[in-house]
Structure 1
Amino acid sequence: MQYIFKGIKTIPASKDMINIVLSKTQRKTPTVVHPGYSIGRIRGFYMRKIKFTQDTMHEKFNDILNGFPKLDDIHPFFADLFNVLYDKDHYKLALGHVHSCMNLVDNICTDYVRLIKYGDSLYRCKQLKKACLGRICTIIKKLNSSLNYLEEVRKHLARLPSVNPFERTLMITGYPNVGKSSFINQITKANVEVQSYPFTTQSLYVGHTEYQNVRWQVIDSPGILDHPLEQRNTIEMQSITALAHLKACILFFIDLSEQCSYSIEQQVSLFNSIKPLFKNKPLCIVLSKCDLKSFEDLSQENKDILNSLAKDQNVSLLQMSNKTGEGIENLKVQACETLLKHRDGQKIEQLSGGNQILKREEEVLRGLHVAKPTKVRDSNVVRAPVIPQTVKSGIKNEKPTLKEIQEEHGGAGVFNFPLQEHFDLANPEWKYDAIPEIMDGKNIADYVDPDILEKLEELEREEEMLEKAREEKGDMSEESDGDLPDEYYEAHEIVQSKQKLLKIEHKLKRHTTAHVHKEALSEVKKDLETKGIDSTKLEQRVLAKRQPRRLLDQIKDEKDIEDDDEDIMEDEGVADRKKIEKKLEKKQRSASRSRSKGINPNPILTPADKAMQRLKYKIEKTWSGMAGEADRSIAQKMPKHLFSGKRKQKADRR
């Protein structure tokens, strides 16, 4: 199982936590209460404040407790690593302090909610709420040191490498400055710092490589010195923890050149002191820096020491050099094969640690078998691959593609395709001729057309035909332009004048007054006769009013006859006609005015009269320039009564 500690939430300091909780309480709960409210409502207001604060604090503390791992529930490697890096006792005390504070806050809030139930006024309920929140803040302030410690632990955990205890692992160990970090940089993509001084690597570094299409984990551990366990520091204890708990292939590095400031005897002594950590684990002894001093160049005494060490552990000595790359690949293959053989003898449950994904992966890998052909009995027979002759000839005669040509000549961006090879011209020798852009002051691109000469001849022929046609019709058109009859011009003027008259008449007919139905004289006469009223005087008066109108109609008819006889009526005549009509209408109105019947205080209006009144109101509004329903203008942008004086309190209040 792979543990990821980067998901732990940030832990605020005590003051920040107080501000977060109290501001959230202020934002998420009601803020207005009055003494006039019922006492039950006032109690509920302050009880809600306390309960909300309790829930918020409980949630914050619970996130802290659940975010950090419990040492009893995680892999022993991480449990011991926590003890080495952060001191297990201090870590547990800090979490216990947080847990006890959470219980205290819950108890305090419960007690004060019970007290508020007996509050008899707004003031007492408010003071109880204030005391409750004050005690909560005091408790959080006392938690400051534990919160700061847990925040530092969280930051360091986020920087730890992601180590999977159940993955196939190669563990590198040895004295400082023996070439461990250089080796992990060679076989993985890890970028571990390498320097000439010892203890450059002060923590565990993880890299990944592939072998047989399976990912392998390579761990570079800090250097270890040969002294008792009680005297080892935190850096060395990280290596000891990894060696003790990870089921990996151990690569113990020994510097043959002794440039690490430790002799071969001291390095072998270190191996013997930490040998109990290698129990039941595959082991490889690596002789590094063989480019400076090989195994053959060692003294006989050192050779005997190394040979006896390899014989006791039943392992072989593997030489390698990080500088020249000699033996690196061989070392990787030997270490991976050694670990695979060791894992084959173990149960799948032990290797997977109960993880179903790792268990399934291990089952699939163990079920795979790569078949390899064995040698034939007669070793002199050479069985080379059989390639048919047709295939060979086809490969030779096949024309290379442009992509293959491009790769042969430097690849994309270097090789330019010879586009001229595909030009289809009348003469193949013209393919590579340089074509100028401009020649004789003309653009060559305008003339690139194989049929351009034929098209030019066709255009010239068409132009000649058009010129001949113009010459033939030119004289006729000139003569015909001036020989139009006078009747044509007269008819044209008459049509134009008629159009003008029609426009004027349409303008005269336009009016905004509604049409009111008037009863005929015969209908009024019959109505009066049925009621027994004499209608002779009324008839005489109506006929007297009609005389000016008849005169006006007679004048209009005479004018129309004159217009038909005349050629055209000028605009001045139209203006005179308008004046005459206006005068006649004025006379008619003055002559036909009847007596007023008096003022009726409550007139009974017909629907037609109401429509006329509404129309009259709209017309008066339009003529007087009053604002209507569709107007969206703002008469005054900034009313003085709203923008005078100084603003008080906040900026959005006045």
Structure 2
Amino acid sequence: MPCYNFKSITVVPSSKDFIDIVLSKTQRKTPTVIHPQYAIGRIRHFYMRKVKTCQQFYHDKLQTILTEFPKVEVRMCTVIKRQADNLKFLEDTRQHMSRLPSIDPDTRTIILCGFPNVGKSSFINKITRADVDVQPFPFTTKSLFVGHTDYKNLRWQVIDTPGVLNRPLDEHNTIEMLSITALAHLQAAVIYIMDLSEQCGYTIQQQLTLFQNLRPLFRNKPLVIAANKVDIKPFEALSEEDKQSINGIVQWHTDRQIRDPDRPIFVEMSTVTEVGLVTVRSVACDDLLAQRVQAKIRAAALPGSNVDISNRLYIAKPKPDGNKTDAPSRPPIIPDGVLDKQRRRMLKRLRIANSLQPSSQLEDEDEDSSKRCRTLRDREPGADPDEGFILNLREHWRIKCPEEANDIIPEILNGHNLIDLFDPEIEEKLNALEEQEAAFENAGFYDESELLKQENDPEMKKIKETAARIREARALRVLESRARKQVRRPQVPRSARSVSVHKIHQELGELGLEVDMHEQGERGRSLKRAARARNSAPNLHREASIARASVSRSRSGLRDEKMHDTVKRMSKIAQRKVVTSARKGEGDRHIPTLKPKHLFSGKRGTGKTDRR
């Protein structure tokens, strides 16, 4: 199904019709009456409004045409095909840039340089975790490789550069320029690696010549010359001419106590036997670390002081006023209390130095000053042991009247001040009661002998006997009640029992209450005229109606209508599960047909397709 509809595109009018449509719409949407007597500003606003409105209508009309017309994709694809070479160049550039190492120019760095195939890649593989390809032919390394090592709990990055040939700068290729650029722009320690065995294809004199040509790039950088492959040809096996050439420009690492800044350190090593590798790394790292520390000290040093940060600080000074040439005098403000304290300390030092005052008096002054400056921790051990240390949190309150800080705050209960409910004489009454209790105790009122006398009193004995009989009678009544409840018969509620007047008379009489009720009091209805005497013989014709008037079995045993409603509601709840399952009863286990034939037979007659 097409996702476009060309028929919905608005008609594109001709240029003449286009102008008529826009001007007509502008005339309808803007005012049309203007008079020459109006102010020039009003007339200008009248015509500018028409111009702006016409401009907006032109824009809307053209935008509608551009929006409704489809954007044909054929031209775009053609344009993209013509840019294939440019896109390929960008992708190649991206891949090359992604392969470039991430070099931090500010961190501690060691750069390896020298002729091709002298052992630079083997050295970086030994001291770092880098995995640079090593081959027995030159120019194996064609880009910069970065490895990382740890020395003195610091992180160091080691950069392996491609080999450099001894030729003029303008004749170096792109690969060699990578090494030269790294040497020129990175502030790092340089390790120039030489091959004493000359297996790289270059003699020792050629390697020294390259070193001298690259010497300007090593300016202000720690420099170490590492003589590699000493396992094949040690330094002692060299010719005297080569030895003199090397000794003329280097300083051995064993003579570092007297350091010559113009001579690089010379160390022998072998990447195969790993002899001297750690020494080369340690010498280069120590020199670079010392240089970085000295650079920071020089940047922060001031003549006549140990540390200076004035070159990193800006000191703001007040500008002079309009007519004044000098800046206003703004001496520092020191509180009087601080000045007094400094003055007292100075006097104390002078007295001690000149011995003008006895030491005991000075100690008293120290005690006085310590008392004035005592803190809460100092005051806590010296508190009264009976009362304890009291922390006064109101001591430093800032209120309008400081003398009111320690006033008692009233306690309010239910809108009343508790102090108003206090009786001033309550303490006197309490003291009087305490004195009375003390007098009773002194008189022996609470002694055990008095209690024994009271127990032997005949009246007290009589009271105890009566209480015992009461407890015994109560226990018997409890036992009788329990015995009656144990009888196995249906318990009828008290409210459902039939009560006769004779039984009431009997119970009240047992309780000692005389009841004299009228004989007619047993009737529950008002008195009426006596009924006519009728024949008391049973009517045989009424026996059927009397039988029908008997109580039904559904209501037998039910006390009232309330109980009947409760039983009916419980019956409905019990039948709910059976009714929901459409069963005939509790024993109904029939499983009906779950797929009726008239719904699943497949017949789809006219007007009967709503089932499928």
Q: TM-score range by the shorter chain?
A: 0.3 to 0.5
Q: Which has the higher contact order (CA 8 A, sep 6+)?
A: 1
Q: Which has the larger radius of gyration?
A: 2
Whichever structure has more helix as a proportion of its residues is 1
